[in-house]
Amino acid sequence: MIVAQEPPIRIMLAKLGLDGHDRGVKVVALGLKDHGFEVIYLGLHQTPEQAARAAMEEGVDVLGVSILSGAHETLVPRLMEQLRLQGTPEIPVVIGGFIPDDDLQPLLDMGVARIFLGDTPISEIASALHEIVAATSHRG
Amino acid sequence: MFDTDSFDQLKQKLADWDQRYGSLRTEQEKNKSYRTESGIPVKPLYTPLDLAEQGFDYAKDLGFPGDPPYTRGPFPNMYREKPWRFTQYSGRSTAEETNRLYHEQLEAGLTSIEVAFDLPTQLGYDPDHPMAAGEVGKVGVPVKSLRDWEILFRGIDLDKVYVFSVSNAQASVILSMHLALAEKQGADLKRLLGGMHNDILKEYIARGNFIFPAEPSVRLVGDTMLYCSEMAPYYDARLMCSIHIGEAGANRIHEAAFALANSIAYLDEVQQRGVNVYEVVRHGLLCTTYCNHTDFFEEIAKIRAMRKLWGRVLSERYGVNDPAAQQLRFNGSQTGSPLTKQQPLNNVVRTAISVLIGALSGVQSVDPRTFDEGWGIATREAEILSLRTNQIVAHETRITNTVDPLAGSYFVEWLTHEMEERIWGEIMRIDQMGGMVRAIEAGYPQRVIAHDAYDRQKAIESGESIKVGVNAFREDESGRKVKTYKAKAEVARQHLQELETLRAERDNHAVQNALDNVMRVAERKPQGKDNNLMLPIMDAVKSLATTGEICTALRSVWGEYQQPRVI
């Protein structure tokens, strides 16, 4: 539950890489808005560097990236590295989309906070994000 | 449809029937909202009265198969001579491997090839471009230059096999490769069949694989259409693509309306150049459409209504009344989103229903997905099973014996008419915005599609829409493993090496000249049939310029598309 005075969680959503499948990320964006989140959707074809910089500039509480093309093996390590390099490793990263089962643990080991696969209800995503943000020092 | 007396009699009998059986309706039935997936209210029963109310007229609304308005199908015999084409969207991580797959598929009875490209190729990047990192050969075959296209079709005669390629932003490059190879194989281009998407506007609103801003992109579509109308008149240089609009989440009405509005934008482009639209539509048009099981009758009604509407568009807007031009053929395409990762074998059933929908709608080819879609890129076994599904529906059910067996169903005809009017209304709305290019700039179709998708998600989350294995009839899925295809890790390196070899072996001076020429023509405005970019792009392709180099040349003149923020 969101307490009345608490400002909404700010989440940035982005499509990483060349993948154009944005139905899922848009549905999540609309759903999170309905759950009281402030959503910034960066759009398609973002590089890890662009997404990391935008997340820092906007000072978001969490960064969500959507990938369905199989490029996560290359793009996610770059994203995590970039967040470290720019001095914002505390921004939690969540992934949505299509990730083969065998690749889930390696991504979590890299520091990804949570991976939401297809058909995850938005209410479940929203409550997980509340937990993740509450657990990070970033938001105090 | 019938005289006043029998009309009144029937009305009375229906009222009696309703009186007698209305009381049997439970509160539950009375309170439930029965609607099509697009939200059209559906009554418990349809009778000739519903058609009479719509002013149904057999000759005007249905006619005969092979005759306008083509509601009953584009050809007089339909499947009696041969069934629809069986196709399968597929590509592997190299041209050699993909070529082997195509041979296996043809051997197994596939009657059409549908090329899936990797993302760098679709977005005009060579494998050595930084944007291509991690994407080379992942979701389809990389086509770096004409050399790859030649390998892809080794041992396959382009004048015998219908090849269909999912090219959009880079369509002019792939079209050049295809025609160059067909010519080299000795095919008669004047009779060559085949086709490609080349529908860039749906990339901005639905699929996201765009490169250039909308206006020069539409010009490029105009150039390819005009080029083919002379060089390869039977080749479908441009398709109407509603499939990706549906897959992005649009309901069936928005899907059809936006696809038709995109086609109108391309024809307007041709007309603005002072060329008669008839030249680019004289052999009809192919539409690749969303064809899924999630609303059986609405899907069928949509396809029947679209055939009618295309004729209406050509006749009312462009004065094109030639029956051959008004003929809209269909590729029915199942898509991934109605399928589930959960209980994957259930998808086999969904595929069979989709194929049946295609057949009952009178489509010319069906492209089913595979049951392992939710797990990754399909294995060969899964692709063969999809092909077998097509073959079983076509050869074992006897539904091919007669043409358009659903015609005359009160519900199907009522819904077809209803869809036609609603789709037309949405096209008018796009018109009021100044056409599709303007509507896209305003973010209108993008917003509508996102909200349709969100509505669908809400219906699933609330349980209003049942998705077996997802929100109902679930099973413990832990430990389930499904085999999928995965590109080998060293594939990217192989493509980089091939690129290096290509650049070392070709005449780089000729390539540079060709690319300079592409840029020069891109800077000029098309006038009538002059300044057609297909000529310099064809030269560049033949000089072995790469897909990335040609697209980069065009980028340097036109820039890249910047997405408006719609959420």
**Within-domain flag for A2:** no
Global pTM value? 0.96
Q: Which residue of B has its CA nearest to A100?
A: B375
Q: What is the pLDDT of residue B1?
A: 60
Give the pLDDT confidence of B94-116 residue by residue, as tens digits: 999 999 999 999 999 999 999 99
**Interface touch A23/B565, C-beta < 8 Å:** no
**Interface touch A27/B454, C-beta < 8 Å:** yes
Q: What is the pLDDT of residue B22?
A: 83
Q: What is the pLDDT of residue B498?
A: 98
Average pLDDT, chain B: 96
- Phi/psi of residue B375, each to 5°? -110, -20
Hey, which residues does A38 pair with through a beta bridge? A10
Q: Residue B511 corresponds to which amino acid?
A: V
ipTM: 0.93
Domain B58-375+403-461 listed as CATH 3.20.20.240? yes
Half-sphere exposure of B380 (CA within 13 A, CB side): 12
Q: Residue A129 corresponds to which amino acid?
A: L
Q: What is the pLDDT of residue B6?
A: 87
pLDDT band at residue B372, thresholds of 50, 70 and 90? very high
Q: Does B452 reach chain A within 8 Å, measured CB to CB? A: no
Distance CA B254, CA A76 (A): 35
How many domains is chain A built from?
A: 1
Which of B123, B131, B135 is the best mutation test for A, with the most CBs of A within 10 A?
B135
Q: What is the pLDDT of residue A140?
A: 45
Distance CA B405, CA B552 (A): 51
**Within-domain flag for A95:** yes
Distance CA B371, CA B353 (A): 13
Question: Strand order of the sheet with strand B365-367?
Answer: B85-86, B365-367, B328-333, B285-290, B239-241
**Within-domain flag for A62:** yes
- Phi/psi of residue B98, each to 5°? -65, -40
Distance CA B212, CA B531 (A): 18
Which token pair is B206?
Answer: 């639905």
Pick from B374, B375, B454: CB nearest A30: B454
**At residue B118, does pLDDT exceed 70?**
yes
**Interface touch A100/B122, C-beta < 8 Å:** no
Q: Which residue of A has its CA nearest to B338?
A: A119
**At residue A1, does pLDDT exceed 70?**
no
Range of the domain at A115: 10-135
Contact residues on chain B for A72, CB-CB shorter than 8 A: 134
Chain B residues 274-313 with a CB less than 8 Å from chain A: none
Could you tell me the CATH number of the domain that includes residue A15? 3.40.50.280
**At residue B546, does pLDDT exceed 90?**
yes
Give the pLDDT confidence of B422-449 residue by residue, as tens digits: 999 999 999 999 999 999 999 999 999 9
**Within-domain flag for A1:** no
Which of B92, B138, B243 is the best mutation test for A, with the most CBs of A within 10 A?
B138
Q: What is the pLDDT of residue B2?
A: 66
Interface of A with B (CB under 8 A): 15, 17-23, 26-27, 29-31, 39, 41, 43-45, 47, 69-75, 98, 100-101, 117-119, 121-123
Span B266-291, average pLDDT? 96
